[in-house]
Amino acid sequence: MDNANTINNGNQQLLTELQSLGLRLAEPDVGASSRRGGAGPSDHKAVTVDGRTIMVPVHTQSAKESPFSASGTVLGSTLTRDGKPIATISFPRQPRFYKLQTFDGVPYWKIAQLHGSDVLATTVLQTCIRYGRRSTSCQFCAIGESLAGNRTINRKTPEQLAEVARASVLLDGIKHMVMTTGTPNFTDRGAQILCESAFAVKAATISHAGFAGGLPIQAQCEPPDDPVWFGRLKASGVDALGMHLEAVTQEVRERIMPGKATVSIPQYLQAFEDAVNIFGRGQVSTYILAGLGDTREAILEMCSTLVALGVYPFVVPFVPIGGTPLENHAAPSPQFMRDLLQPLGKMLVSGGLRSADIKAGCGKCGACSSLAAFEN
């Protein structure tokens, strides 16, 4: 590898470029399967680069034109850029729990999936009140695609989630869990089914694999209409909470996610404040998709407000997902991401918020953004 040193020194740069430009893979299904469809970011695959596992787009249009390519096996593969070898990468193995099925005959992989290297992720409810109508749906979301493709089931019961979580901890060393949900109503907005699910998973994992308090869980939903839900989520066993702004200016929110944008930014900020009072500084986070139209300055300004509130802004590059209205939208350039993540990394450190201190969830996993690499 003629420039292995460059890769070690330019780790942040390589990770950022891979996530923006994507990767052409000779065998896209090597190792753990790639994610197609589902809630939130998708159409990418876990890749381990220099000991760090990140999600890299592999099924997108931009990935087909990427200068990066790789071929190989789970044990190791050579990453090339414009045909020149630049690093050795690997892919997390297919987890053992994927081979099992529930007592009622549902394959475990349809209930929850491995994300990154050690995260169990599930969409508790695979339908959303906003999905299906262009006037209300989030244009980046593919929550209905995996359901239509029979790659998941609509409602994962607390019993099913408990069974899968326990097996994943025992067989695959899962360290934390992400529970997201489609929005089922305009009141609790998913908080109630997250409470039921978290309670069952905690009870099933309480004394396994060193988790005296049960598997750490991040729940993700829109802000519930009543802040009483934050206390209920915490009491049910949720350790960290994600409420995702996705975009930071109202104009972009209304264009990209017209339904969700009816919950205003001031309502989100109030919900963040209420949630931090329950979960603590750094245990509440929000996803921000860079590349949808918000300027660097607007994103950094919102991040500054969020950090002051104790909310971790998990800024990720937008990945255009096949089958969604934004499938032909460009991904942000590596330069745009670097210019954003560098000052954000500094802002996080001076605000005392770090990925490593989050108990569970996307900010802790960090696979969908190279942000954590900028916190050093």
Name the minimum Å distance from CB 119 to ligand SF4. Answer: 5
Name the minimum Å distance from CB 355 to ligand SF4. Answer: 10
57 binds ligand SF4 (CB under 6 A): no
Name the minimum Å distance from CB 177 to ligand SF4. Answer: 9
The label of the residue with tokens 């009141």 reads 187
- Candidate list 141, 367, 371, 372; residue touching ligand SF4; CB under 6 A: 367
Nearer to ligand SF4, 40 or 86 (CB): 40
Q: How many residues does the chain have?
A: 376
119 binds ligand SF4 (CB under 6 A): yes
Check the CA dihedral 198-204-206-211 and report its sign. negative
Nearer to ligand SF4, 167 or 365 (CB): 365
Going across the sheet that includes 52-57, the strands are: 24-25, 68-73, 76-81, 84-90, 44-49, 52-57
Name the minimum Å distance from CB 362 to ligand SF4. Answer: 3
The pair of three-digit structure tokens given for residue 275, joined into one six-digit string: 């949630």
Name the minimum Å distance from CB 40 to ligand SF4. Answer: 6
Radius of gyration of the chain (CA): 19
- Candidate list 365, 371, 372, 373; residue touching ligand SF4; CB under 6 A: 365
Site string (166-205) toward ligand SF4, x via CB under 6 A: ------------x---------------------------
- Spatial separation of the C-alpha atoms in residues 1 and 147, rounded to whole Å: 43
- Spatial separation of the C-alpha atoms in residues 159 and 161, rounded to whole Å: 5
Name the minimum Å distance from CB 116 to ligand SF4. Answer: 5
- Candidate list 49, 121, 233, 360; residue touching ligand SF4; CB under 6 A: 121
Phi (first) and psi of residue 252, to 5 degrees: -70, -40
Q: For residues 79 and 94, is the Cβ–Cβ distance under 8 A?
A: no
217 binds ligand SF4 (CB under 6 A): no
362 binds ligand SF4 (CB under 6 A): yes
Stretch that binds ligand SF4, among 195-203, 323-331, 351-359, 361-369 (CB under 6 A): 361-369
Q: For residues 218 and 178, is the Cβ–Cβ distance under 8 A?
A: yes
Nearer to ligand SF4, 55 or 233 (CB): 55
Residue 83: count other Cβ atoms within 10 Å of its Cβ.
7
- Spatial separation of the C-alpha atoms in residues 33 and 251, rounded to whole Å: 36
User: In sequence order, what are the residues at sequence separation of 6 or more whose Cβ sits closer than 8 angstroms to the Cβ of residue 141?
Assistant: 39, 40, 128, 131, 321, 324
- Spatial separation of the C-alpha atoms in residues 354 and 376, rounded to whole Å: 10
Site string (78-117) toward ligand SF4, x via CB under 6 A: -------------------------------------xx-
289 binds ligand SF4 (CB under 6 A): no
Name the minimum Å distance from CB 135 to ligand SF4. Answer: 27
247 binds ligand SF4 (CB under 6 A): no
- Spatial separation of the C-alpha atoms in residues 213 and 252, rounded to whole Å: 40
The pair of three-digit structure tokens given for residue 331, joined into one six-digit string: 């991904």
Nearer to ligand SF4, 55 or 300 (CB): 55
- Spatial separation of the C-alpha atoms in residues 76 and 49, rounded to whole Å: 10
55 binds ligand SF4 (CB under 6 A): yes
Q: Which helix (H) or strand (E) holds 81?
A: strand 76-81
Name the minimum Å distance from CB 217 to ligand SF4. Answer: 12
- Spatial separation of the C-alpha atoms in residues 354 and 344, rounded to whole Å: 11
Q: Which of residues 23-52 bind ligand SF4 (CB under 6 A)?
A: 40-41
- What is the contact surface with ligand SF4 in residues (CB under 6 A)? 40-41, 55, 115-116, 119, 121, 178, 362, 365, 367-368
